[in-house]
Structure 1
Amino acid sequence: MEKRILIAPNSFKECADSVTIAELIRENLSQLTYYDLIVKPISDGGDGFLNVCKQNFGGEIRFYSISTAYDENKFSCPVLYCQSRNEIYIESAEILGLKVVPIQLRNPLELSSKGLGELLLRINEEVSNEAIKIDRVYVGIGGTATIDMGIGMMSKLGLKLLDQGTNELNVLPKNYFKVADIIFVPIQFSFEIIPVIDVNNPLLGEYNGIETYGLQKGANENSIILLMNYFNHLINLLENKKLSISSQSLSGAGGGIPASLQIFYNTPLYSSQDFILQDIGLKSLTDEVDYLITGEGSFNHQSNSGKGAGILIDLFKSSVKKIFLVCGYIDSSVKSKLPDNVIPIELNKYFNSETESIMKYKDGIRRACDEIINQVDF
């Protein structure tokens, strides 16, 4: 009986997306002629979300001119339009991500999510003009450089921040402490907005998203403290207007983008786990495959908090013979806690530095596949 290998990696952040990684693995396992290779790249909402959606749902890539996160210049942003499903898919990392914000400009106090608001506005206009028909817009949240609580996005959808003199403020996190009043006259959407979130961290409180992910977005310890204080200030103002909900219920994913959708539009959140298992269809394969190959750029304790590879390990650990976890780096404290049938393979062991392993990731994947070939049962 032909054995089946499921190839389902997540993206390797700032290196290659999951569709590219999955295809590389398939190519390097092509000599396993007695195995059925099932290729199902995944995304938890971050880098590569659009490519994964296109591979699974079809559709066409459309482009919209919107503002960058760091100035008023415009750039062409891709979205996926699935006419057959009446859906659009947005990858927040394509608008606000570390991959599109130059490293020298990664100061979250100076960055805004306004481009995402502009994009939603443009889509709404096209629906109103009957240029496209849309019932749902999925927004993949992850890989963002911004930490603005989604207030920049809302500034394009009817929100204004006013100071003590009722002067309108430039909507940037560095100005939040000056806010004395918040005015919001909402834009009404004719479609449902569905944020796909990759982490469960709250906006504020214990294990909040700012402290957990701030450093990797370019924040320092001082700016992290400022951002938490500024967010608390805004939430207090919103509570006085009876707009806010419990800060523990607000999502800290993507620098707080979903939090604004929760506050101002009462938007429910959609977990990346449900997206991967139900929409992409991985749950239906649990009893259909013998081996699983998954992985991501860096696997650490956060990877077990609703992240792609961690989701699949939990799902398949009891039903497959072996799980090959292929990553650039795997945290040693997490590695020791992996299930017995998980085989960790770190690409960095093949190279002299992290930079070299990223530059030569194709060679790293080839070597990892050589190890996998030696460990599967013929």
Structure 2
Amino acid sequence: MWAVTLPSMRILICPDKFAGTLSAPEVAEAVAAGWRDTAPEDEIVSRPLSDGGPGFVAVLAEALGGHRLPVATTDPLGRPVTGEVLVVDDPAAGGRTAYVESAQACGLHLLSDAERDPKATTSYGLGVLVATAVETGARRVVIGLGGSATNDGGAGMLTALGTTPLDETGYALPYGGAALVAVAALDGVPRVRGVELVAATDVDNPLTGLYGAASVYGPQKGASRADVLLLDSALERFGAVLERDLSSCPPGLAALPGAGAAGGLGAAILALGGRCESGIGLVSHLIGLDAAVDRADLVITGEGSFDHQSLRGKLVAGVAGAARDRGLPCVVLAGRCSTGRREAASAGVTESYSLVDHFGGEERGGVEQALTRPAEGLRAIAARLAGQWSR
């Protein structure tokens, strides 16, 4: 009797970050290691993902290579931190493209819960990163937006780029979103050297109003109801000043989709003549996700919390939908799973597994273990999956 040898499988691993524990590349590495523990002959392709928020630069650096330039900058409260500018040769852009990540300088994760106060936090540190990217000689600068602690409409970023908001007496305003209630003019010309600016974000909120930056995202950044009303009024005033004083600013700035991204950073980038682009779409294109899905036999994705929001425009939904459209199984790994099986299946998710359950559930300390031993848990789950799925 002849032995039948089945061909090895192609496993595509394309997770988002597990916020607060592992970056997307670290998640992919842990899952790949677990799969190889059980099925070393299978072909594994890793394509970590980001939508423009925390981990944006790390994901693109792994996929594109390029040079990662460390930059001394500041956090949302003006304290020293180190960020990065990723510089990549890009013939399509006519030279180099530089990538920066807003969360490295004004990310919410840089603050303790007690420090969250969008009335005072500033995007100045992001401006330092953008200015450095411009000075590299890049023709295009792509700014990943997401996970910000700020609500200053990009005023701090503009200050770092040479354009300072002033009050009616001509004095520079202090940092923070609240100070913009007194903005009267801008002083100085933005030093962007004609560089093409792109905001990578999947947030389409306007700058102000019921669905604006302050109303929707202010509370999670520490804003009270009174703070939200103050910040929304401040952004309305600042948006009008941007339209009046920056010749590159498009009309109707405050209502433009994406203007409210990252506490109004989208508005500042639009006012500088930039544009907004889907972060998920941009990253997927740059890392060749569609081609990788085409060649896969099984897709594994994941994120920190797989819940009802995951299936409404987030990365996991996009990956699962792509797999479903090709008739491929898609497995989701997460820190915690709370999505119903029927809802997940309709979105293209074949199975889902959580670290909390792997470590015994909430009653047995699973949450704590998921936070402290995520890589170990993911590796073990992936090894078990390989035993179930590999040929």
TM range (shorter): 0.7 to 0.9
Q: Is the 8 A contact 1:195 1:258 kept in 2?
A: yes
Question: How far 1:246 moved relative to its partner?
Answer: 4.3
Q: What's 2:128 paired with?
A: 118
Give the ranges of 4+ consecutive aligned residues of structure 1 lying more than 6 Å apart after TM superposition: none
Instruction: Give the partner amino acid of 1:224.
Output: V
The SS at the match of 2:61 is helix
1:22 Cα offset (Å) = 0.1
In 2: Cα distance, 1:326 partner to 1:203 partner? 34
Offset at residue 209 of structure 1 (A): 4.1
Asked if the contact 2:355/2:366 (under 8 Å) is kept, the reply is no
The alignment status of 1:285 with 2:295, answered yes or no, reads: no
Give the TM-score, by structure 2 length.
Answer: 0.85
**Does the aligned pair in 1 maintain the 2:100–2:129 contact within 8 Å?**
no
- Is 1:193 paired with 2:197? yes
- CA 1:274–1:321 in 2, change beyond 3 Å: closer, same or farther? closer
1:293-316 deviation digits (Å, cap 9, x = unpaired): 001112344434543222212222
Instruction: Describe how 1:85-164 pairs up with structure 2 within 5 A.
Output: 86-124=96-134, 126-127=135-136, 133-164=137-168
CA shift in 2, pair 1:174/1:204, >3 Å: closer
By how many angstroms is 1:15 displaced? 1.0
- For residue 130 of structure 1, what is the aligned residue in structure 2? none
Alpha-carbon distance in 2 for matches of 1:238, 1:50 = 29
CA deviation digits over 1:278-326, x for unaligned, max 9?
1111011232112110011123444345432222122222214321111
Contact 2:85 2:129 in 1 (8 A): no
Report how far residue 11 of structure 1 moved.
0.7
Partner of 1:45: 52
The change in CA–CA distance for 1:358 and 1:318 in structure 2 (over 3 A counts) is same
Aligned to 1:345: 353
Matched, 1:214 2:214: no
Check whether the contact 1:63–1:76 (CA below 8 A) recurs between aligned residues. Answer: yes
Q: Which residue of 1 aligns with 2:375?
A: 362
Q: Is the 8 A contact 1:87 1:136 kept in 2?
A: yes
Q: Which moved more, 1:252-261 or 1:233-242?
A: 233-242
Q: Which 5+ residue runs of structure 2 have no aligned equivalent? A: 1-6
Alpha-carbon contact 1:250-1:262 (below 8 Å) kept? no
Letter in 1 for 2:372: M
State the shift of 1:183 in Å: 4.2
Please say if residues 61 and 79 of structure 1, whose CA atoms lie closer than 8 Å, have aligned partners that are also in contact.
Answer: yes
Corresponding residue for residue 233 of structure 2:
229
Cα distance between partner residues in 2 of 1:65 and 1:228: 31
- Map residues 233-272 of structure 1 onto 2, 5 A cutoff: 233-239=237-243, 243=249, 244-251=251-258, 252-263=260-271, 265-272=272-279
1:282 partner amino acid: L
SS at match of 2:343: coil
More off after superposition, 243-252 vs 101-110: 243-252
Q: Is the 8 A contact 1:109 1:174 kept in 2?
A: yes
From 34, 38, 42, the counterpart of 1:28: 34
CA shift digits 1:230-289 (9 cap, x unpaired): 2123224445568452423142222221211102x2211121232133111101123211
Per-residue deviation, residues 67-116 of structure 1 (Å, max 9, x unmatched): 33202x43332222225762222121111113333443221111100111
Cα pair distance change 1:230/1:336, threshold 3 Å: farther
Secondary structure of the 1:287 match is: helix
Separation (CA, whole Å) in 1 of partners of 2:337 and 2:375 = 18
Counterpart residue number, 1:5:
11
The one-letter amino acid paired with 2:377 is G
Q: Counterpart of 1:172 in 2: which secondary structure?
A: coil
Counterpart in the other structure of 1:323 = 330
**Does the alignment pair 1:15 with 2:28?**
no
Number of positions where the alignment pairs a residue of Structure 1 with one of Structure 2: 369
Aligned residues with identical type, % of pairs = 27
Q: Is the 8 A contact 2:306 2:339 kept in 1?
A: no
Aligned alpha-carbon RMSD (Å): 2.5
Q: In the alignment, residue 119 of structure 1 is paired with which amino acid?
A: L
- TM-score, scaled to structure 1: 0.88
Shift of 1:356: 3.3
Deviation digits for residues 308-346 of structure 1 (CA, Å, limit 9, x no counterpart): 22221222222143211111123436x642235511222
Q: Secondary structure at the match of 2:254?
A: coil
Q: Quick check: 2:39–2:387 contact (8 Å CA) kept in 1?
A: no
Give the match's secondary structure for 1:247: helix
Classify 1:374/1:209 alpha carbon distance in 2 versus 1 (closer, same or farther; 3 Å). farther
Is this contact kept in 2: 1:161–1:171, CA < 8 A? no
SS in 1 for 2:54: coil
Decide whether the 8 Å contact of 1:155 with 1:171 is kept in 2: no
Unaligned segments of structure 1, at least 5 residues: 128-132
Letter in 2 for 1:87: T
Q: 1:172 aligns with which of 173, 176, 179?
A: 176
> C-alpha separation between the residues in 2 aligned to 1:205 and 1:121?
30
Give the conservation status (yes or no) of the 8 Å contact 1:200–1:306.
no
CA distance, structure 2, for counterparts of residue 20 and residue 346 of structure 1: 17
Distance 2:202 2:337 in 1: 19
